[in-house]
Structure 1
Amino acid sequence: MSELHPNLIEWKTGGEMKSVLSGSLEIFCKQIGNPNADADKTILLLHGFPESSYSYHRVIEGLNTFFDRIILFDFLGFGLSDKPLNHTYSLKEQAQIALEVWKSYGVKGGHLIAHDMGDSVATELVALANARIGDWFPNGFQSVTFTNGGMVIELAELRILQKLMLNPILGPFLSKLSKYKVFKQQVYSANGSLQLNESEIKIMWSAFRSGNGKIIGHRLIQYINDRHRYQNSRWLPALKETTIPIHLCWGELDSVAPIAIAEKLSNDICRDACFTRMSETGHFCQMDNPEKWIESVLRYYREI
């Protein structure tokens, strides 16, 4: 398999690299549509692990039917963004990177959609928004949609390889030895549905492995420890306190972030949230069942 899949080379066209963290690192970003769109017509997207912004490629056209402006980027260490070798990757830093990217585009506010690891970045952004982000973001988050992520970590069903990768001794070793066959099996296992097209997994693998990705997997997966660290002390309280409209949009077949997580959030944390169950949809929902995903998220936006 080539170092960078042709689809990613095409995806890179129309994107750009933006400097973050005082200019020390670069993030791959894409802005689609009208750069002057109002906040209520702007959608901001956060991807998951082990994905990249490309994971949303099957729903861009559908989002364009409602939103005038779409902004995506690859988190640090993922996709086409820089992948520093000895970096301590953290979700709080990824949230700061998101803010830097949006500020560089002149974003005044918008709707936010997050997936998987991106859900926890979004909860950190909610915590920051509760305390006010800054004068450059006057319109704030119009809403936040969470899709299929381990936001209640004790209810997540981590794969065996995820647990092994967290081990400080085994993790670096396994990162270097990782093979596509194992990666594919882990993705299918987490997804909970076999309808995910293997071509999507090959592209995900290419994006994840490109650059230094082949040797930093054990560093990137430390986001799970961030969930243990901040879930009960910061992130879930922020969701409970926020006045931002919340949408829980969950694929019912998910094996790694089961529907029980969304049910827990809906019943105990975000009691005013809209809760949408996506039938016949797995963990990688926007790739697994893009038609159901678009139908579900756009129904929410038309009703709020």
Structure 2
Amino acid sequence: MAAGHSGADRATGDDGLPARLARVTHYMGAVASVGLMVGLMAWGWQLVSRDVSGVPVIRAVEGEARTTADNPGGQLTNHTGLAVNSVAGGQALAPADQVAIAPSPTDLLEDDVAMGRLGATAREPANPSETPLTFAGEPIVPLSDSEARALAEAQAAAAAERALADEAVNQAAIIDAPASEGPVTEVVTDENGVPAQAAAIAEALVQAQAEANPGVVMASARPAPRPRITRVAAAAPTPAAAPAPAAAERAPEPAPAPAPVVAASSASGPVVQVGAFDSNAIAQGEWQRLAGRNGSLFSGKAPVIQEHQSNGRTFWRLRVAGFGSISEARQFCSALQSSGTDCLALGG
């Protein structure tokens, strides 16, 4: 019986140490859990109450904001540590051990001027031709002496030409009557001084091109202003020839002038248009001039003068007929263009 009690006590003693360690561990875990919960609750309370209790307060800093070192060291600048500075600051100083004369004022240099004057001097170029821009914003290109001299001569010549043109315009007689059918040498211009014959030729060429290519859309020409007749100086009279001596043979009489060619008003087949003129007489005179200058080229060709109206203006087209095909007409036109005459080949 005693042996049984001793065995039970030994078993109880062997199991007591692990049990006690387990209980201690449980107690420590419970205490840590409780402490963690208390800390979380305190932290949450601080977060909630911080907006109310944590209002920032601005307070003045106690003490001096800046202090001067007792021995700063380094190198003193000019005019520091003088008695005059202490007197100006209202400080009472002991008698000075050494009295010295203040340094003389520093003289100003040539560059030491007012800021406005310095800026004006810096922006003022030494040579006016080096100015990059004028007040109007137009660029100025520096020129050499020869270029400037040539430019001045050209401007003077242009001014003289303008003066002569203005004088000629003032002396010209402008009439409201339609232009007369004068000879070919008469100058016919519009109110702007542009030859009306050239404008009529250009307009006629555009219309002829539109007729030759009906699928191409062409812009309508602007109506030309009323023509103006400019006075043409008459040719100087030729001096009368001295009478030939009686013994000299009589000079042969000049051949009579050829009769004017009667131009047709229409033609069939390909034609070549050489211009448009203000009157029928001018067109016939132009035909005589071209035929005389290109005699072999106009051999076998006949003139065709057609009256046409456009934008309230009447002019006469001068065309050349007598071609067997459009290619022959184009070759004829190429030959005229090589001699300096504008033309346009048109199909029949």
Q: Which has the larger radius of gyration?
A: 2
Which structure features the higher share of helix residues? Answer: 1
For normalisation by structure 2, the TM-score amounts to 0.16
The higher relative CO (CA closer than 8 Å, separation ≥ 6) is in 1
TM superposition score normalised by structure 1: 0.18
Q: Which has the higher strand share?
A: 1
